[in-house]
Structures are given as structure tokens and as C-alpha cells.
């Protein structure tokens, strides 16, 4: 055997031994699987040449377990916005994110798998009042305590996890966001979670691919989450109280939107989307108004290709620009239909009334 080969086979023996220890530690001591990526191991060993004995100031198992746990914590904390699935030991399996835009988190299964449910069902299950308002396009929210979310989980499947625990959450919706060409209804889950090292965070559960777009269109949410997380980490605030406050903050559009007076609207015309939307809607003729059958909202075409969406209560939901052929396509697909004149006049007078009372 050449020197090179000898060297290689010895190294192979060390690798095999280390691999065996890593696998065993992963099976028995680590909470959650470390995803396969190169691991940097720093081991402390002492070799005594007098009798060629090897000793470790700390058992090798413990040294490796510490490294793997630290890596795992880091992996988990870098995937905020997801729910840890204790069944798959992953934040990247299909269970870690809601299966559709309308789903919210409703707890863990017996084996620690995240469970999801349509917002309407979830609200009914926790006996929320005024669920019918959802059908008028008015968003609602509710607080769900951690005990409720964790009640099914069996021991050993994430119960009392030191890596990820949902201490409570707020579910809310429907929001209206434009994703691609379509205006979509969106349900959201805001979780108060405890992460590695006991660190408490407030996270919005969401596919990272959608996050930026959603945050852009619902700009009051990020500051509300940040505020809640800060309050929760100031120990004198009780998490539950903070989260209940968050439940209304995530719904609230900036106060001035509601309080706009006619005068203020005129003054700020062309400055803020909501003012433009109201001005356009009051000016529009009936032929420019449509009922969006999918989201049960009103779509009003304004000047310069603008399109404004209002809920049935006359609250402005969002605005975007739209081409004539996109309008035609919505009509052809029966996504939109012409709004009956009486309904449109009704809507305009409600809009005027809300301005005067504001």
C-alpha cells in the first residue's frame, strides 16, 4: 500500500467513526433534523503519546450534539414565516406553509404536523362573532391561545419544544391583494412564537415568495408586528394582551383614511390612493362599475386606467391600474359583471354619507 493510500484509508476510518457518531447524535439527541450541508466540527481531543490514549475533555457525543443543535437553531431561525413541522422535523416540508391563500393555521396534529383550515371554518370553530361580515368583504380577526393550538400534540412530537413553540396567534382576513393579474382574497396567521434560546418573536406565516408583495399592499401590518414583538419582549407586557391588541391593529387601516373629510379629500387629491379612489368613485358613471363575483367586492374604473376596489360597506380596499382588455377578459370569464344602476347609486350615496360623517 502506498503512503497516499494508507493516508486515505486512515482518514476514511476517522470519517466513518465521525459519521457514526453524527448519525447517532441526530437520532437520539437533536430536536429536529439538520439539513444536509457541510458541517464545521471543532472537536477537542487530547492524545497522550506515553500510552497512545485518546481522551476528550467533553464526551465526543456531547461536542457533536452541541454543534448540530446550534446549526439546527440557526436553520430554524432563518426560516421565520414558516411553522415547524415536528412530524417531518422540518420547516421546508409541504406542511410548513398554508396550502392556499384562504387557509390559516389551526394547531398541530397528534404527531406535531401543522394543520390548516379555511379562515371561515377556523373562525366558526372558535365561535367568533360576526363571521357573516366576511361575506360583505369586511376583514375580521380573532385571538387563539396557544393551549388551543397545542391541545392535540402528543409528548415527543414537539410538545415543550425548545426550538419552536406557538404561544398564541391571531388569524385575520380576508385581505384583498393583487397577485399577478388577479385580485385575490387572503387570510393571514400572525403567531407569537418562542424560538431557540427562549427568544420570542411575532411572525406572519407566509410563503416567502409572496411576502414582499403582500407587505407592500398592506403597509400597516409590518409596523404592527414589529410593535407587538417589542412589547412582548419588554417583560412587563403580557403576551396575550399584546396579541389581542395586534388583532385589531392588523385590521386597522391608518385612522386618517376613515376620517377624511370632503375638504381633506379635495386638498390631498392626487396624493394618496384612497383619496383618488374616492374621488374617482364619486365621479364615475354606472358603466364603469362592476361586481367582482369571486371576492364579492365592487370594482370601479377611474381615470388614467386606474381601478379601485371597495368592499360592500363602501370601504376602500385597494387600487391598481388595469387595461381595457383585462377588463374585457374579466367580463368574459364571468369574474366581473356589470353593477346594477340602483346598487351603484346606493354605493355612491353611502360613500358620500361616510365622508360627511367622517
Binding site residues, Zn ion, CB under 5 A: 85, 88, 93, 95
Q: Which is nearer to Zn ion, 67 or 84 (CB)?
A: 84
CB 82 to Zn ion: min, Å: 10
Measure the CA angle with vertex 301, ends 298 and 307; round to 5°: 80
On the CB side of 30, how many CA atoms lie within 13 Å of its CA? 25
CB 99 to Zn ion: min, Å: 12
Q: Which three cell numbers stand for residue 235?
A: 417583560
- Which residues touch 295 (CB under 8 Å, ≥6 apart)? 137, 174, 176, 183, 184, 185, 309
Q: Which three cell numbers stand for residue 231?
A: 412589547
Q: Which is nearer to Zn ion, 156 or 305 (CB)?
A: 156
Q: Which is nearer to Zn ion, 208 or 305 (CB)?
A: 208
- Nearest-CA neighbor of 347 among 319, 315, 304? 315
CB 125 to Zn ion: min, Å: 22
CB 158 to Zn ion: min, Å: 11
Q: Which is nearer to Zn ion, 85 or 120 (CB)?
A: 85
Ranges of beta strands (E only) in the chain are 46-48, 53-55, 103-108, 114-118, 140-145, 165-179, 182-194, 200-205, 289-292, 297-301, 306-310, 316-321, 336-338
d(CA 121, CA 174): 13
Q: Which is nearer to Zn ion, 116 or 174 (CB)?
A: 116
CB 83 to Zn ion: min, Å: 9
CB 233 to Zn ion: min, Å: 29
Cα-Cα end-to-end distance for the chain: 91
Q: Which is nearer to Zn ion, 85 or 246 (CB)?
A: 85
Amino acid at each position: 500500500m502506498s503512503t497516499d493510500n494508507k493516508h486515505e484509508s486512515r482518514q476514511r476510518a476517522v470519517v466513518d467513526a465521525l459519521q457514526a457518531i453524527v448519525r447517532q447524535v441526530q437520532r437520539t439527541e437533536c430536536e429536529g433534523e439538520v439539513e444536509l450541508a457541510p458541517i464545521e466540527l471543532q472537536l477537542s481531543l487530547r492524545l497522550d503519546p506515553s500510552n497512545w490514549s485518546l481522551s476528550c475533555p467533553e464526551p465526543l457525543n456531547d461536542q457533536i450534539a452541541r454543534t448540530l443543535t446550534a446549526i439546527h437553531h440557526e436553520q430554524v431561525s432563518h426560516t421565520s414565516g414558516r411553522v415547524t413541522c415536528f412530524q417531518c422535523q422540518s420547516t421546508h416540508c409541504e406542511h410548513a406553509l398554508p396550502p392556499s391563500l384562504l387557509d390559516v393555521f389551526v394547531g398541530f396534529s397528534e404527531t406535531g404536523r401543522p394543520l390548516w383550515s379555511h379562515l371561515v371554518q377556523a373562525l366558526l370553530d372558535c365561535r367568533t362573532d360576526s363571521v357573516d361580515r366576511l361575506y360583505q368583504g369586511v376583514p375580521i380577526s380573532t385571538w387563539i391561545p396557544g393551549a388551543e393550538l397545542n391541545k392535540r400534540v402528543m409528548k415527543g412530537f414537539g410538545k415543550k419544544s425548545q426550538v419552536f413553540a406557538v404561544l398564541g396567534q391571531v388569524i385575520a382576513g380576508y385581505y384583498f391583494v393583487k397577485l399577478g393579474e388577479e385580485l385575490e382574497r387572503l387570510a393571514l396567521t400572525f403567531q407569537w412564537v418562542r424560538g431557540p434560546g427562549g427568544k420570542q418573536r411575532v411572525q406572519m406565516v407566509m410563503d416567502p415568495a409572496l411576502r414582499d408583495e403582500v407587505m407592500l399592499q398592506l403597509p400597516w401590518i409590518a409596523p404592527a408586528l414589529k410593535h407587538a414583538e417589542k412589547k412582548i419582549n419588554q417583560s412587563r407586557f403580557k403576551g396575550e394582551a399584546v396579541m389581542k391588541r395586534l388583532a385589531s391593529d392588523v385590521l386597522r387601516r391608518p385612522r386618517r383614511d376613515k376620517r377624511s373629510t370632503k375638504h381633506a379629500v379635495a386638498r390631498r387629491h392626487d396624493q394618496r390612493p384612497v383619496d383618488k379612489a374616492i374621488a374617482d368613485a364619486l365621479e364615475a358613471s354606472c358603466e364603469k362599475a362592476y361586481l367582482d363575483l369571486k371576492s364579492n367586492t365592487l370594482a370601479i374604473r377611474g381615470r388614467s386606467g386606474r381601478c379601485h376596489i371597495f368592499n360592500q360597506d363602501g370601504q376602500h380596499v385597494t387600487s391598481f391600474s388595469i387595461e381595457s382588455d383585462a377588463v374585457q377578459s374579466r367580463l368574459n370569464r364571468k369574474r366581473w359583471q356589470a353593477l346594477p344602476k340602483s346598487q351603484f347609486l346606493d354605493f355612491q350615496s353611502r360613500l358620500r354619507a361616510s365622508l360627511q360623517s367622517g
